[in-house]
C-alpha cells in the first residue's frame, strides 16, 4: 500500500482520492478552499456523483482518507496527483497557471523519488512544464490521464476501459501502475507526449461521433429517414459501435468543448490545421441554432414575448453540472429572440441555485420552476433539453391542460411521440418526423 497526496478536490481529484483509498492506499486530498475541506472532513460530498458519498464516508471512517487545506501534505507522500483545473484561455489554449502554481509550491518540499502525476487534462508537453517548475532531478513526473464521465466517475475509475501511463522512466511507470491494485484493465505505458495526446484524441473522437450523428440527423430530417433506426443500423457494425451516436441538442460539459478547442489550438501551434475537428465544433454550434430554430418554428415563426417551457438545464442527466450546457446555449438563443423561458430541472431547486453558488451566474435571467408542470403553465411551447428519465413518465394529459399551446420540441428524442400526438400535441424531434 502506498501514500498518495491528491492536490485538488474537484470532481477528478475527489474521485481519484476516494477510489485510491477504497482500494487500500492512504490518501490525503488537498484544496485551497478551507470551507470545502471542512465540509469534506465532515463527510459531506460537494458534488452529485453516484457512489462517491459512500466512498468518502468509508475512507474517512477507515482512516485511509483525509482532507487538508494547503499543499504541505505532499511532503509525506510517495505519489502526488495534480488534479487542479485547466480552464480555457482566451485563445482556446488550456490555462496551466493552477498546475504551475501547485508545482512551484510542492517542488521544494517533496521527498526524493516522489512520483508527481498529471491527471488533469493538460496540453501535450505539460509533463515537461511540471518537471521544469518542480526543478527536481530526483523526482519523477508522469502523465496518467483520466477518462471519467461525470455521474459515473466512481464506476469508471474502478472499471476503466484502459489505464494510460506516460513516463520517460520505466520504473516510475511501474510504480504508478501498482497503485491500480486489483483493477483489471489493459495497461498502456508510453511516453508523456503520447499519453497526453491519447486523452485529447479520445475526447475529440467522441465529440466527432456525436457531431456526426447530429449531422446525419439533419440529413434524416431532409430525406424523411429516422435517425434512431439509422444509428441502430450503424452501431451494430463493430467497427463503428453504438455508443456516443445519440443525436441531441449538441455536446457540452466541462470537457468536450474545452478539450476540442484546446486540441485545435495545440495542432495549430504545432503547424497542423485540424480542419476536421473545427468542423466538428461548427456542427455542434449549428446544432444549438437548429434546436432553437425548431422552437421558433413550433411557436409559429417568432418567440418574441412568448412563454417557452424548458425541461432540463444540466449538460446531461444525472449530474447537477451546468458548465457549457447545451441546454443553456439554446435557452440563451431563445431569450435573445425575445422568449420568456421558464425551466425545470430535477437537480435545480425552484428559483435557481442559492446566491454564492458558482452556478448562479449561469442561470441569470432564467426562471426555474418547482416542477415540470409548473414550468409548462401558460407556455406556448415545451422544449426538452436534458435526457432526465423522469420526463418520460409524466402525466401528459396534465401537461396538455396547463399549456397554452400544445407544441413539443424534443431535442433528446426522449418522449413517446405517438402518445403526444394522440393527445393533440405537435411534436418535433431531432432527425425524425
Is position 19 annotated as part of the catalytic site? Answer: no
Work out how close the CB of 269 gets to ligand UDX at its nearest, in angstroms, rounded to a whole number: 22
Work out how close the CB of 37 gets to ligand UDX at its nearest, in angstroms, rounded to a whole number: 24
193 half-sphere exposure, CB direction, 13 A CA radius: 4
Residues that bind ligand UDX (CB under 6 A): 146-150, 203, 206, 210, 244-246, 248, 251-256, 315-316, 326
Query: Which CB atom, from 160 or from 192, has the smaller least distance to ligand UDX?
Result: 160
Query: Which CB atom, from 244 or from 396, has the smaller least distance to ligand UDX?
Result: 244
Contact 256, 287 (CB under 8 A): no
413 Cα distance to chain centroid: 21
Nearest to 86 by CA among 208, 282, 244, 261: 261
Work out how close the CB of 268 gets to ligand UDX at its nearest, in angstroms, rounded to a whole number: 22
Query: Which CB atom, from 212 or from 425, has the smaller least distance to ligand UDX?
Result: 212
Query: Which CB atom, from 67 or from 311, has the smaller least distance to ligand UDX?
Result: 311
How many C-beta atoms lie closer than 10 Å to residue 370's C-beta? 11
Helix (H, G, I), strand (E, B) or coil at 412: coil
Rounded CA separation 41/66 (Å): 7
Strands (E), 125-224: 140-143, 163-166, 187-190
Phi and psi torsions of 19, nearest 5°: -75, -40
DSSP state of 73: G
Rounded CA separation 58/280 (Å): 42
Residue with cell 511516453: 191
How many C-beta atoms lie closer than 10 Å to residue 360's C-beta? 13
Work out how close the CB of 199 gets to ligand UDX at its nearest, in angstroms, rounded to a whole number: 8
Q: Are strands 65-69 and 367-368 parallel, antiparallel or unpaired?
A: unpaired
Work out how close the CB of 206 gets to ligand UDX at its nearest, in angstroms, rounded to a whole number: 6
Q: Which residues contact 233 (CB under 8 A, 6 or more apart)?
A: none
Work out how close the CB of 38 gets to ligand UDX at its nearest, in angstroms, rounded to a whole number: 27
Nearest to 105 by CA among 142, 143, 72: 72
The catalytic residue among 83, 220, 255, 376 is 255
Rounded CA separation 312/309 (Å): 10
Query: Which CB atom, from 20 or from 147, has the smaller least distance to ligand UDX?
Result: 147
Residues of the chain by 3-state class (helix, strand, coil), percent to 5: 45, 15, 40
The residues that bridge with 69 in the sheet, in sequence order, are 31
Q: Work out the end-to-end distance of the chain between its first and last CA atoms, rounded to an integer number of angstroms.
A: 57
Contact 411, 289 (CB under 8 A): no
DSSP state of 2: -
Segment holding 116, helix H or strand E: strand 115-118
Query: Which CB atom, from 31 or from 324, has the smaller least distance to ligand UDX?
Result: 324
Query: Which CB atom, from 41 or from 347, has the smaller least distance to ligand UDX?
Result: 347
Work out how close the CB of 244 gets to ligand UDX at its nearest, in angstroms, rounded to a whole number: 4
How many C-beta atoms lie closer than 10 Å to residue 356's C-beta? 6
Work out how close the CB of 235 gets to ligand UDX at its nearest, in angstroms, rounded to a whole number: 10
Query: Which CB atom, from 23 or from 48, has the smaller least distance to ligand UDX?
Result: 48
Residues acting as catalytic residues: 255
Amino acid at each position: 500500500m502506498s501514500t498518495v497526496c491528491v492536490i485538488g478536490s474537484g470532481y477528478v481529484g475527489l474521485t481519484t482520492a476516494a477510489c485510491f483509498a477504497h482500494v487500500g492506499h492512504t490518501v490525503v486530498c488537498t484544496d485551497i478552499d478551507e470551507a470545502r475541506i471542512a465540509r469534506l472532513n465532515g463527510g459531506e460530498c460537494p458534488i452529485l456523483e453516484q457512489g462517491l458519498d459512500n466512498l468518502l464516508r468509508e475512507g474517512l471512517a477507515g482512516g485511509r482518507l483525509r482532507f487538508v487545506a494547503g499543499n504541505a501534505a505532499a511532503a509525506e507522500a510517495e505519489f502526488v496527483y495534480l488534479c487542479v483545473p485547466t480552464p480555457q484561455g482566451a485563445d482556446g489554449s488550456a490555462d496551466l497557471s493552477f498546475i504551475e502554481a501547485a508545482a512551484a509550491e510542492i517542488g521544494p518540499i517533496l521527498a526524493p523519488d516522489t512520483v508527481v502525476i498529471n491527471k488533469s487534462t493538460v496540453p501535450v508537453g505539460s509533463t515537461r512544464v511540471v518537471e521544469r517548475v518542480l526543478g527536481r532531478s530526483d523526482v519523477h513526473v508522469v502523465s496518467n490521464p483520466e477518462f471519467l464521465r461525470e455521474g459515473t466517475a466512481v464506476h469508471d475509475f474502478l472499471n476503466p476501459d484502459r489505464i494510460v501511463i506516460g513516463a520517460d522512466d520505466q520504473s516510475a511507470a511501474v510504480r504508478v501502475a501498482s497503485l491500480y491494485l486489483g483493477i483489471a484493465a489493459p495497461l498502456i505505458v508510453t511516453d508523456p507526449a503520447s499519453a497526453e495526446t491519447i486523452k485529447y484524441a479520445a475526447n475529440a473522437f467522441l465529440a466527432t461521433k456525436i457531431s456526426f450523428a447530429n449531422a446525419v440527423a439533419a440529413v434524416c430530417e431532409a430525406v424523411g429517414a429516422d435517425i434512431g433506426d439509422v444509428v441502430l443500423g450503424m452501431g451494430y457494425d463493430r467497427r463503428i459501435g453504438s455508443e456516443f451516436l445519440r443525436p441531441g441538442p449538441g455536446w457540452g460539459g466541462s470537457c468536450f468543448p474545452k478539450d476540442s478547442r484546446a486540441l485545435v489550438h495545440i495542432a495549430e501551434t504545432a503547424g497542423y490545421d485540424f480542419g476536421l475537428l473545427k468542423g466538428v465544433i461548427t456542427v455542434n454550434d449549428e446544432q444549438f441554432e437548429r434546436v432553437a430554430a425548431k422552437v421558433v418554428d413550433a411557436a409559429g415563426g417568432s418567440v418574441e414575448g412568448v412563454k417557452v417551457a424548458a425541461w432540463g438545464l444540466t449538460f446531461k442527466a444525472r449530474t447537477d453540472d451546468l458548465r457549457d450546457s447545451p441546454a443553456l446555449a439554446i435557452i440563451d438563443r431563445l431569450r435573445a429572440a425575445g422568449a420568456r423561458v421558464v425551466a425545470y430541472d430535477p437537480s435545480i431547486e425552484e428559483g435557481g441555485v442559492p446566491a454564492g453558488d458558482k452556478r448562479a451566474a449561469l442561470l441569470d435571467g432564467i426562471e426555474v420552476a418547482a416542477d415540470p408542470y409548473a414550468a409548462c403553465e401558460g407556455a406556448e411551447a415545451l422544449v426538452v433539453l436534458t435526457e432526465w428519465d423522469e420526463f418520460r413518465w409524466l402525466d401528459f394529459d396534465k401537461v396538455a391542460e396547463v399549456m397554452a399551446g400544445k407544441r413539443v420540441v424534443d431535442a433528446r428524442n426522449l418522449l413517446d411521440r405517438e402518445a403526444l400526438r394522440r393527445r393533440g400535441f405537435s411534436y418535433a424531434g431531432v432527425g425524425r418526423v
